[in-house]
């Protein structure tokens, strides 16, 4: 995750939190925005979003990824095998 992506996520999260605590957005929509804010801040802090995993093969094919993210497929297969036993 690049710096711009992390900054945009953080700004959006802060805006969502501001909307909720100012009372502009309430109810289920407000709670949903707070949940998204937590997710955005967490992924910004750790610098990785799991939703990007399915896009990695496409990004590699297009030459947009220049570093190795490791073998996530093997990791998840091993995790699934351990879970099923």
CB burial of residue 33 (10 Å; 0-12, 13-18, 19+): buried
**Residue 48 confidence (pLDDT):** 78
Residue 79 φ/ψ, nearest 5 degrees:
-60, -45
Residue with the larger pLDDT of the pair 6 and 80: 6
What percent of the chain clears pLDDT 90, i.e. is strictly above it? 39
Q: Are 5 and 35 in contact (CB under 8 A)?
A: no
């Amino acid at each position: 995750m690049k710096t711009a992506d992390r900054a945009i996520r953080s700004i959006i999260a802060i805006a969502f939190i501001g909307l909720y605590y100012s009372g502009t957005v309430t109810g289920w929509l407000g709670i949903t925005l707070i949940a998204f804010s937590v997710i955005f801040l967490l992924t910004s802090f750790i610098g990785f979003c799991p939703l990007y995993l399915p896009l990695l093969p496409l990004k590699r094919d297009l030459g947009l990824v220049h570093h190795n993210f490791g073998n996530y497929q093997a990791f998840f297969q091993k995790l699934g095998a351990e879970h099923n036993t």
